[in-house]
Structure 1
């Protein structure tokens, strides 16, 4: 970020306080929402515009989680979030996940949000291992366990191939001498998380969806 102009006085209209609303996916409850300010913001002038520093609260009454944000004020009165803490995470659904699988995947999500990409790849691989264990998919190696998993859950062939790529990404993240160790970044990890989410849906959430559809159909009949 460019160094702020130290001799630039804040306009009196802003010195009185006030905040800007920001759109975030809440890091606490994982719902998208428009966050309002709590207390007064601190303001700093940059050549690119005014930057607000302040506390925001989740709009959901069952959450009201606290988030600290750094936001760039736009000319139309809106703001772009530059940084937030806790950081915003990718969208995902925890419905039906066993606690140990949930803990591992949640750690992978949090590592990605904090830009710890190799750590996220490792925890995503561990999520695969835990899913295999939970489903009784046995084998001497992870690749064999993933193949066994394909016999126990309804998984498209393309997803099984993608899971093998995800396993290899975990290898690259684990070994310093791996060919692609330094290339495990946000792009690779975001893709790995998307593949893992599809696996979790297929294994743990598809049956629940089918049950809900069946109950809905029965009710209509």
Structure 2
């Protein structure tokens, strides 16, 4: 996206910018740096994260009529829990999220498909193509049937993005990719994080309480 700055003037007052910090992830009202500039119904400016442990820099473009933030840099990304996700899978999914944040929706769909392929490799799923590997994956991991079916839908979205002759989806845009990212997050939780979460819960139990429960009810 290109914004031409010919005829830019100083904004009459500082504009309130409230958003999630792309550096630390905290929500807040960002602090003014320098002077905002105005051009053709848009406001351009610099802000600083109010979190004292971050103080990260943010550039923004805002529509002066609607008040909507048109773009920020660094761009905001969809948050997700990275714990226990293998490196190759994490790298693929992070690239999908970064592509989405920069409005590169086709690239994001392709990397979501890549994430599924890496999950299959990590769990030893076999087959001649991704469809068969996902089918095999369903027999190797214990997750809800809806998530296995959702993987096949994500596979088709990524296939549409990678091959121009595919036409399963009417389009690959912001809504399709955002839903796909949220679904992939649930898949990653089910495959890599629920077991760890259960382990943390069990570690909080007092051994004596467990023994008393056993003697009473078993």
TM-score by length of 2: 0.80
Q: 1:102 aligns with which of 90, 95, 98?
A: 90
Q: Which is worse superposed, 148-157 or 123-132?
A: 148-157
**Whole-angstrom distance in 2 between the partners of 1:145 and 1:66:** 43
Q: 2:33 aligns with which of 12, 28, 38?
A: 38
1:205 and 2:193 correspond: yes
Task: Tell me by how many angstroms 1:120 deviates.
Answer: 0.6
RMSD value over aligned CA atoms? 3.0
Task: Tell me by how many angstroms 1:99 deviates.
Answer: 1.8
Question: In structure 2, do the counterparts of structure 1 residues 7 and 107 end up closer, same or farther at CA, with 3 Å as the change threshold?
Answer: closer
Q: CA offsets per residue over residues 45-99 of structure 1, 9 Å max, x none? A: 73xxxx4321222333443322201234689xxx542211122222322222222
Task: Tell me by how many angstroms 1:220 deviates.
Answer: 10
Aligned to 1:53: 44
**Whole-angstrom distance in 2 between the partners of 1:42 and 1:112:** 28
Task: Tell me by how many angstroms 1:108 deviates.
Answer: 0.5
SS of 1:144's equivalent? helix
**Whole-angstrom distance in 2 between the partners of 1:220 and 1:40:** 63
Task: Tell me by how many angstroms 1:178 deviates.
Answer: 1.4
Aligned to 1:136: 124
**Whole-angstrom distance in 2 between the partners of 1:9 and 1:85:** 20
Q: 1:63 aligns with which of 54, 61, 68?
A: 54
**Equivalent residues, number:** 205
Question: In structure 2, do the counterparts of structure 1 residues 45 and 214 end up closer, same or farther at CA, with 3 Å as the change threshold?
Answer: same
Aligned to 1:126: 114
Q: CA offsets per residue over residues 10-67 of structure 1, 9 Å max, x none? A: 65xx3xxxx3342222223344333222233223473xxxx43212223334433222
Structure 1 unaligned regions, length at least 5: none
Q: Which is worse superposed, 61-70 or 149-158?
A: 61-70
Whether the 8 Å CA contact 2:10–2:36 is kept in 1: the answer is no
Structure 2 unaligned regions, length at least 5: 210-218
